[in-house]
Amino acid sequence: MKKFLTLALAAGLCAPFILSAQEKKTPEEQFKRLDTDSDGKLSKKEYLGNSEGEKKTKKEDRFKVLDTNKDDFLSLDEYKAGVKKKA
């Protein structure tokens, strides 16, 4: 019984790491998920999602930096460039 409980505890402690590794998505997958209208570009609204407060402010600032051609949209290339810089 002790072995079972120890094993269950160990599995429970490792589960978040295993799940987060499985949840990692490529930049293309992330972009596609954010592109809710499927037009091949991200508007500021799509990029911000449901962010609020300080997180929203940081994402707004990041959007301005990533939007290198200043067309108020992020292309996949602009998005991917930002993901590389962040990593």
Cβ within 8 Å of residue 68, ≥6 positions away: 78, 81
- Lowest-confidence region among 17-26, 41-50, 72-81: 17-26
Reported pTM? 0.70
Top-confidence residue, 49 or 12: 49
Average pLDDT, the chain: 85
Superfamily assignment of 25-86 in CATH? EF-hand (1.10.238.10)
Q: Which residues contact 63 (CB under 8 A, 6 or more apart)?
A: 44, 47, 48, 74
Tokens coding 52: 């609020």
